Amino acid sequence: MIESGILVMNKPQGFTSFDVIGKLRGILKIRRLGHTGTLDPMAEGVLPVLIGTAARACDILPDETKTYCAGFRLGTVTDTQDSTGTVLETHDVLVTETDILNCIPQFCGEIQQIPPMYSAVQINGKRLYELARAGREIERPARNVFVERIALLEFHAETGCGTVEITCGKGTYVRTILHDIGQTLGCGCCMTSLLRTAACGFTLAEAHSFETVQQAADSGTLEELIVPTDRLFSALPAILLSEAQTRLYRNGVRLDLNRIARIPEASLRCRVYGADASFLGLAEPDREAGVLRVYKNL
């Protein structure tokens, strides 16, 4: 029985992130599963799934950077901002590759983005997609998001189609970036495909299909696919506790900092390992009080 860990999935098209969780519950025979970021049914690619006690880490992930390869078509505006939606406008495309390259920089860095109506964002207790399906559109406040880079991989002027690679932070809508680029270029744009190639430090090369997971479950080799939970926090300094300290930590007791190996001064959190070198969770040093506080048992 797997108690904790990460199973990196390659989500296929047509599945929501919740669909992936549901199918994995059937394969793994485990109820407690969580994912690290929603992917629309149209999207495919990297979806890290947190198993058992690792699911407690869903809201404390230190690295929520994601990279996408997205196809686009200029000249078309849809209600969903992608090619699955209803076409609202079409325009002639008189745009060059240079025009796109000159436009891209204004969508990098910290930018403001209005979430699309067809999204899982909640406003006043309602999911936006629920309102959109009911034919309603409401005002949505712009949100700050961070886009690390946008690279134009290809563009075909004769069709207005191309591909970009985007690396961004949590809560960023790639289709909205493309929609907004189209608005800036004056011809409109919709996303035609979306592949997440990296998320939370995991890459597509590490991702598994449902078939692979099912075969591993059937053959009793599932453990070989599971990544240890502490991989999520590998950038944090690590401390090793004694047997007595391990018992205290497990019970939520604060530990004397003077009795623990030195933690770098700049560290706000650290990985905690028990006397048997097993990963226990995260802790926060309180240097004024001289104690190490339990932050999250994992």
Is the pLDDT assigned to residue 10 strictly greater than 80?
yes
- At the topology level, CATH places domain 4-61+201-229 in Pseudouridine synthase (3.30.2350)
Of 281, 282, 292, the C-alpha closest to 258 is 292
Query: Helix 17-28 crosses helix 210-219 at what angle (to 10 degrees)?
Result: 10
Distance separating alpha carbons of residues 213 and 7, to the nearest angstrom: 9
Domains of the chain by residue range: 4-61+201-229, 66-199, 236-297
The C-alpha atoms of residue 267 and residue 287 are separated, in whole angstroms, by: 11
CATH class of 236-297: mainly beta
pLDDT by residue (tens digit) across 134-192? 777 777 788 999 999 999 999 999 999 999 999 999 889 999 999 999 999 999 999 99
How far, in Å, CA of 270 to CA of 239, rounded? Answer: 7
Right CATH for 66-199 from 3.30.2350.10, 3.40.50.1220, 3.40.50.11540, 2.30.110.10: 3.30.2350.10
Active-site choice (40, 82, 180, 230): 40
Query: Does 236-297 match 4-61+201-229 at the fold level?
Result: no
Q: Is the pTM of this model over 0.85?
A: yes
Task: Confirm whether 82 is a catalytic residue.
Answer: no
What is the length of the chain? Answer: 298
Question: Is residue 165 within 8 Å of residue 196, measured between CB atoms?
Answer: no
